Every structure is written in structure tokens, then in C-alpha cells.
Structure 1
Amino acid sequence: MTTYHELTGFQRDLLEAIAAVDDDPYGLALKDYLDERYADPINHSRLYQNLDQLVDKGLINRDELDTRTNVYTLTDAGTQLLQRQAETLAGLCDQPRPVADGGVQ
């Protein structure tokens, strides 16, 4: 089973993009979503190579939307991976934060 930290940052961002994009999360919609968040435009080759890798890892499904377009959706494993990460981050936000003098804020 693939863990969240075994993925590249870009692959993690792709999983989040697939979960976030309304309607059909097809390649160009995912690219547009990420282009709004990245300083440099996303290269098509990089996008589709990483989508293929996520399919191979069993984290996303690739289905034909029409003869030229594929749509990408999270598998149960992909959804669980994102949920575990979200729970981890939420738990970290609830913990008291250390302060410079060694105490707790």
C-alpha cells in the first residue's frame, strides 16, 4: 500500500486537485486548477506522466469521458489516503504549540 509520504509533492497535489475539481476532473481541468496554485505553468507531459503513475499505484481511476478525453477519479485507496492525511493535519492543529522558552502556548 502506498503511503502519502511515498508520493511526490506534485502527485499529492494531483490527488487533492482530483478531489477538489467540480464536474469532471479531466486532464486540462486539473492543469487549470494547479496552474492557479503553482508559480510556473504545469507541463502537459509532467501532468499526464504523474496521472499515469497514480493510476498504476491504484490511487486514481482513468475512465474515458469521450473519444479524446479521460476523466480521473479517486479510488477508495486514494480517498482513504487523503482522509488519513487530513485527519493527521487536523490533529496537529489541535495540539498545543511549543514556545521559544520551552513552555507550551
Structure 2
Amino acid sequence: MKHLSAFQRDILYIVSDLETSYGLGIKEALEEYYGEDVNTGRVYQNLSTLVEEGYLEKSAIDKRTNSYTLTEKALRAIEHRHRWQRTRADGQLAG
């Protein structure tokens, strides 16, 4: 996960939080988090990259809409990131 951009990591966290993760829903959640418009093309380009790299699985909801779910690789990467962040934060809090 360390090679992913912050935007891609944010997408993974949003997918993990949404009940049904589809492109426009992910875009809306990103916009809510960032407090500004997010380019639709940027969202779909990064979703495609995350699918290609094995972090997301894509399946069709209908002819125009795809849903995205986290893979085991993504779940392991998120857990690893959480451990890494806790270690860094614990070191700062102890000092």
C-alpha cells in the first residue's frame, strides 16, 4: 500500500465504509471528505488502477454501473497501514 497515492488509499477506505460501492457513490464520498469537487475521470482512472493492481474487485450492478469491493490484498494492506500509523503515533505520544 505504500506505493499507492493518498487519493488511492482514500478510495480504499471509502470502499470499506460504503454499503454499496459504485463509482458515483465513491466520488460523492470523496467530495464530502475533501470538501470540494473531485474530477470524475480521476476517480474512475484510479478505480481502474486499483482493480488492475488487485486491491479492488469490480462487478456489474447493471449495464452502466459497476460495484467495487475490497480484495484480501486490500484488507491486509489497510491493516498493515493501521499498524504502521499506530506505531508512529505511539512514538510521538510517548515522547
Using the size of structure 2 for normalisation, the TM-score is 0.90
1:80 pairs, out of 68, 76, 82, with 76
Amino acid at match of 2:83: E
Percent same amino acid among aligned pairs? 33
Name structure 2 gaps, 5 residues minimum. Answer: none
Instruction: Look up the match of 1:43.
Output: 39
Deviation at 1:96, TM superposition (A): 4.8
Off by >6 Å, runs of 4+ in structure 1: none
Name structure 1 gaps, 5 residues minimum. Answer: 98-103
Query: How many equivalent residue pairs?
Result: 95
CA–CA distance in structure 1, aligned partners of residues 59 and 37 of structure 2: 25
Deviation at 1:40, TM superposition (A): 2.8
Instruction: Look up the match of 2:56.
Output: 60
Using the size of structure 1 for normalisation, the TM-score is 0.82
In 2 relative to 1, CA 86–26 (structure 1 residues): closer, same or farther, beyond 3 Å? Answer: same
Q: Give the aligned CA root-mean-square deviation in angstroms.
A: 1.5
Amino acid at match of 1:41: D
1:11-31 C-alpha deviation (Å, 9 max, x unpaired): 11111111111x211011111
